[in-house]
Structure 1
Amino acid sequence: MKRKHKLLLLFVAVISIFAYYHFTSPQFNEGELYVGPVTSPTGAYTANSYYETYGGAAGGVNIWVEITYHHESNKTNAIYYGPGRTGFDMEWVNEHTIYIENRSGTEFSEQKTIDVRTGKEVNEQS
């Protein structure tokens, strides 16, 4: 009987962990194209930003930036995620660095210069 309880407990724990990460992690596959494509100087990378609304009329907008790695079979990787502001722009500084600006009116809420590397984690902002 103890073995059945342990297996049931393990099963519930695995399902709970999966559900937690599934429902709390940003879902980067359901947004609308916002700004892009913006191609790097040599054409090795392309940046696209996407947005997704949440919460109905009283909600807001989340924005994320995905990089397409053309030299790696067009692999994509989300490198930036944050709340949408009224002014958003991005441009390549050089082949491996992209500048992302996400501002509210005339106040600069966020200015990021992100080094683009394969496998880099999402740079989440609040």
Structure 2
Amino acid sequence: MSTKILVSGSHAANIGNQCGGWTIEWHGQSETVGDSLNLIVPEPGPTMIMNVCGAVKCVVVLISGRPVVIEPYVSKMDALVAAWLPGTEGQGVADVLFGDYGFMGKLARTWFKTVDQLPMNVGDPHYDPLYPFGYGLTNNSV
């Protein structure tokens, strides 16, 4: 049986984006001023998720330095990996995706559903996250 894997997206083969713009070669050249109110996944991300995940089994690997609005797309995904900014160690993400190592990791912050919920902290009366603080996997739960 032949297995095919599609790797796509603006950050798939871009070490500058995977490092958040800071590498020896890049020196922050892809770094831009952050806008904490604009936490929407930029195109072509949403279109790619809807098209690809609607057609085949799909693991979305999100390369981001912070939580972003993904709630509209979660129902299309078979799995979601928050890889944060893996930098030059993106191979570690590939290692767990291919099963060489078990997934481990828990969210160090709450992942909101919409930006209207921000700020959101554990214990807030309106605490209704997409993924709560501490959500994730341990080696025992895989």
Give the TM-score normalised by the residue count of structure 2: 0.25
- Answer 1 or 2: which has greater strand percent: 1
Give the TM-score normalised by the residue count of structure 1: 0.27
